[in-house]
């Protein structure tokens, strides 16, 4: 009896271990849960930390193609769960009928939805450390932007375990610092035949504010496909890795169950998906 795959797609500045607790949680419920690394990037934290140059030059095209191929490799269409840029990719793929369903957590905005205006220091490239190809966050920036709802000691712990430099090319593709956004930063919001989509926001998120996720949710208003929004109060951009991760994960599990998406593929049936 085939298990339903769940593919976790990480966001910029986080390694694949950012999904470690989620993988265990979903696997304990019977799902085939995987959190693959980015193209050429090791899944294990030590390798990823000591070899960040493997991330250099990765853009949104390469990431999207990488996860599309992964999703298509399963005999059973997977659920795609993404955080930040991973949430954008999840929406893009399910909009193309790749995957059984998608969950986008604090997703980078799609189509013409802009990031909310913020203090220039958040988006000025000169304020970030790194080489021409990689952009690194300091622990202070991580605490201020990602883990702003956490105490400093907890933010430091999360930083040490999960944070990596981000490819400057990817940030440019996302429209970072006023750059022109890539055509891949898009989703077919009008596709009525796609699988269910859940958007999740943290109401204290400083990197992808709740207002941005609500604006994306409104983009789907003309589609008859299932699109749901869940807002978590007092949560920042670190909501998939911080102390409240289980509340978010269990909400996703409950949402999947409510839409008939179960751990065993024979319980949900299958349908053909193409990219």
Q: What is the pLDDT of residues 185-201, one digit of tens each?
A: 999 999 999 999 999 99
Domains of the chain, by residue range, sit at: 5-260
Q: d(Cα 151, Cα 203) in Å, to the nearest integer? A: 17
Report the alpha-carbon angle 263-264-267, nearest 5: 110
Q: Which CATH class is domain 5-260?
A: alpha beta
Q: How confident is the model at residue 6 (pLDDT cuts 50, 70, 90)?
A: very high
**Residue 130: its pLDDT value, please?**
52
The answer, as to whether pTM is greater than 0.85, is yes
pLDDT single digits (tens) 141-150: 999 999 999 9
Q: How far is CA 249 from the centre of its chain?
A: 13
Taking residues 29-53, report their average pLDDT. Answer: 71
More confident residue, 57 or 228: 228
Strand partners, 80: 7, 102
CB distance 168 to 160 below 8 Å: no
Q: What is the DSSP letter of 141?
A: H
Angstrom CA distances, 268 to 105, 111, 195, 198, stand at 23, 31, 12, 18
pLDDT value for 47: 44
Positive or negative: CA dihedral 266, 268, 274, 275: negative
Predicted pLDDT of residue 32: 97
Q: What is the mean pLDDT of residues 78-98?
A: 98
Choose the weakest-confidence range: 56-60, 108-112, 137-141, 188-192.
56-60
Give the pLDDT of residue 8.
Answer: 98
Q: Token digits for 70?
A: 């992964």
Residue at token pair 């299958």: 270
Mean pLDDT of 138-158: 96
DSSP line for 29-41: TT-EEE----TT-
């Amino acid at each position: 009896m085939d298990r339903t795959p769940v593919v976790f797609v990480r966001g910029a500045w986080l390694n694949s271990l950012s999904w470690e607790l989620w993988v265990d949680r979903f696997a304990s419920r019977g799902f085939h849960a995987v959190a693959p690394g980015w193209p050429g990037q090791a899944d294990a934290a030590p390798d990823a930390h000591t070899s960040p140059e493997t991330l250099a030059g990765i853009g949104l095209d390469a990431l999207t193609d990488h996860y599309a191929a992964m999703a298509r490799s399963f005999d059973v269409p997977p659920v795609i769960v993404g955080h930040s840029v991973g949430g954008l990719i999840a929406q893009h793929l399910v909009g193309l009928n790749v995957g059984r369903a998608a969950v986008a957590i604090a997703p980078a905005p799609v189509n013409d939805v802009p990031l909310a205006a913020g203090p220039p220091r958040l988006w000025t490239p000169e304020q970030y450390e790194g080489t021409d190809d990689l952009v690194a966050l300091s622990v202070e920036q991580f605490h201020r932007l990602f883990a702003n709802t956490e105490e400093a000691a907890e933010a430091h712990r999360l930083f040490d375990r999960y944070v990596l430099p981000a490819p400057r090319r990817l940030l440019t593709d996302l429209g970072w610092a006023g750059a022109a956004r890539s055509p891949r930063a898009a989703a077919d919001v009008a596709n009525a035949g796609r699988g269910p989509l859940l958007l999740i926001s943290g109401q204290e998120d400083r990197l992808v504010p709740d207002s941005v996720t609500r604006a994306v949710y409104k983009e789907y208003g003309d589609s008859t496909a299932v699109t749901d929004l869940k807002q978590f109060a007092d949560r920042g951009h670190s909501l998939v890795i911080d102390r409240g991760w289980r509340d978010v994960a269990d909400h996703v599990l409950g949402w999947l169950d409510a839409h008939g998406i179960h751990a065993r593929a024979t319980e949900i049936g299958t349908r053909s998906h193409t990219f």
